[in-house]
Structure 1
């Protein structure tokens, strides 16, 4: 039975990665071995499971029929592993590897410290953070769970709101010095703006400058971290997460009465993963940690703006 499941696991890797090399990276085995295992499974079943195309390995009709059964087996094996792994541990420790996808702002300024706390409490746990300037594809198992800035409405997914967070316009004092005074939104036209590349905004919630009527972005990137560092270098004005500001205490928020944005983070998981207690326990700690970290960092921002006696 173990060999049969191992072959199904390889089948799932190829179905999701659409190539032997991608499946090898997912499974941490060499592509040649992946190919042999797929051939063995096809021989056992007596039919081809994939068709080679210019796009890679596409499921055959038989492969498409096998896919939901293989995914069901994956969930069953995961649940069994959870049960065996938690016996004698009172269900408290988390072990193994968990991959989480997130937009790079969250991945850079929240997840490192939150995940550091979780692994410190669970020494047998490996956490992999996938920082992408796009939506993580859970259906292809790019990650076990993902943080998003919009709640998805399609697919077999469970969605949990993590937390609201705030964003403001910010710049360095060196940039602001000697430039036109900022009194209202109309004054933005006299300043160099930093933001997203307009045609690479992957979620409407990230179109901050468009909502402010800004038509030109002289310095743009698809990465919020690149934008943040450009603002730190005094290159211009840009929208910054409040939770990122403690990492750059030299930055100053401006036009706060005119520009104060609120967005939300959501935790997205496969619906079938609700049976996996290991992922459930990790999700609980992740949610609590992110909420606490956003509150801590935004409180720091508020204290910096408070008048000093």
Structure 2
């Protein structure tokens, strides 16, 4: 199995189509399509169901996805270990803006690893419960939960991530688990302050018909700590659960959401230093999400 073909497979799966994947890989869509066809022939299986809406993974594609992500993570770890050993080290200051869940539970590990390989680089993490404004130069790069609508910015899909319903063991012992997703409408829920949800992708509870949030915060870390304190049920990032071992996933087969992180940069002339840092950040983020989510699967 050819890693270059697997790399194309991952890009198509993440972009849900050839055009987005080709843009990420800097290939033309026809080349990306030929790579997918070659991989399918080598495996003797159809990996994508193609439709006017895009490319959706088949059962065979779903089985291949975690193995391809594991190979990607292993390569990313190898790159991180050797970064700076044979090439020029990064230096200066770079600032990343990110929503606070990503900033709290993913970026510290990723940036620590990059910083160890590039000791002359100063990395600043701007954690905000809103979209970081690159146009006002608040940061050099931003991580968002949906791609920007403006053409003045460049966006690359970083990785899917997952969220689960969770509560503390003490809360579950006292109140019991809900019978199903429909029971969340009457449950004591923890979530975002409704009028401070800055992206529709974060309106997790609306899909379950929840209209009242008795305990709310604009910060993911506060929501997590409310759940740890036994305040109720919360929708929690799977990658944050290893930091809260006292929380238990509830209805894991019936309540599991999928969202995505996007890496956003200015659409102006390419900056080689920023591009190199973005590559390290992308590889590190994908590896860290895969590692943390695997520990709670």
TM-score normalized by the length of structure 2: 0.70
Shift of 1:178: 2.6
1:248 matched residue in structure 2: 244
Work out whether residues 157 and 270 of structure 1, in 8 Å CA contact, stay in contact via their aligned partners in 2: yes
SS in 1 for 2:174: coil
1:262 matched residue in structure 2: 258
Work out whether residues 180 and 190 of structure 1, in 8 Å CA contact, stay in contact via their aligned partners in 2: no
Shift of 1:256: 1.7
Q: Trace 1:279-290 onto structure 2 (pairs within 5 A).
A: 279-290=274-285
1:170 matched residue in structure 2: 166
Shift of 1:279: 0.6
Determine if the alignment matches structure 1 residue 299 to structure 2 residue 261: no
Deviation readout 1:22-50 (Å, 9 max, x if unpaired): xxxxxxxxxxxxxxxxxxxxxxxxxxxxx
Extract unaligned runs of 5+ from structure 1. Answer: 1-88, 303-309
Which one of 121, 141, 149 corresponds to residue 137 of structure 2?
141
Shift of 1:190: 4.1
Summarize the Cα distance change of 1:147–1:109 in structure 2 as closer, same or farther, 3 Å threshold. same
SS in 2 for 1:176: helix
In 2, Cα distance between the equivalents of 1:122 and 1:292? 19
1:156 matched residue in structure 2: 152
In 1, Cα distance between the equivalents of 2:187 and 2:176? 8
Aligned length: 213
Shift of 1:181: 3.8
Q: Which runs of 4+ in 1 moved over 6 A?
A: none
Deviation readout 1:246-300 (Å, 9 max, x if unpaired): 00111110112221100000000001252x1111110010000000000000000
TM-score normalized by the length of structure 1: 0.67
SS in 1 for 2:138: coil
RMSD in angstroms over aligned alpha carbons? Answer: 1.4
